[in-house]
Structure 1
Amino acid sequence: MDLLPFDEYVRSLNRKRMSAGVLLRDDDRSVLLIQPSYKPHWDIPGGAADAEEAPWTTAARELHEELGIVRALGPPLVIDHIPSDPRMPEGIAFIFDGGPIEQADVDALNLTDPEILSVDLVPIEQVATKVKPSLARRLSVAVSMAATGGLALCEDGEHTA
């Protein structure tokens, strides 16, 4: 068996996109969703990781950039493998526990990021009407993990074990 030279081997390695988001929720199992200006579906605070950026750093940075919130994040709740589609390569999505948020806190947010049109606390049972199906599945798992203190591994939003 012939081995590739190391530099050639490194160039041949698969590259995955990575994103990280934050689950903020109230006591009634509602989750904070943001309405982005650049896509039709709502989302959670978060986004794509920059080069050389750890996912937890991405989540905290995006939470601050999008909503002006600075807080220590809790543990990861979900790690999700997202299969490729015709437009995007496969990826890994993280959801971190952002802890509780009250309606008064949401009402007090000063939205200055032009990418964010609005925010809303949405009951988990209604999330699927606003977000992509894979994110709805991922958020349902994340809410369960936040309640139990676990970490879920998912494939396209489906809890694998």
Structure 2
Amino acid sequence: MDAFRKILDDVDEVDLTPMIDVTFLLLIYFMVTTMLVQPESQLSFQLPGKPQSSDSVTPMESAKINSMSDGTITLNGSPIPVDDPYELTQLINNLTNTRKLRDGLIQTGQKSKEEAELKVEIETDGLSDHQTFVSILNACSAADIDKVSLMIP
């Protein structure tokens, strides 16, 4: 009987200390990495529908952005330098300056808010990178542009 009690007393317990250490390391890792990731901007945009002949937009009232499969981006036909595909600073600056000019037309009373609102048309070919498209949408959001439409190539 004493031998049986000795066996029961020698039962090993599971040490939880290493598992707790690993759990805290994973928690710290995920907290640090989630703070480094920038969230994508929220954009509301309209998908292209039937063209309306009565709402013809003059070229000065819209900005057309093309994204090619080779990574080039053009704004109204002129190429935009792409240093970093995640941050299109030149595109943001161009769109912001255009929007500020239109805001000046509204303030001086030369145009109404509806007439001076900047409309952006994005056209991408089927082989262009999806990240470039998302970066263009983020650039529009950073330039505080609400009217974004997608063009069918």
Pick the structure with greater CA Rg. 2
Shorter-chain TM range is under 0.3
Question: Per residue, is there more strand in 1 or in 2?
Answer: 1
Question: Per residue, is there more helix in 1 or in 2?
Answer: 2
> When the two structures are superposed, what TM-score results if normalisation uses the length of structure 2?
0.26
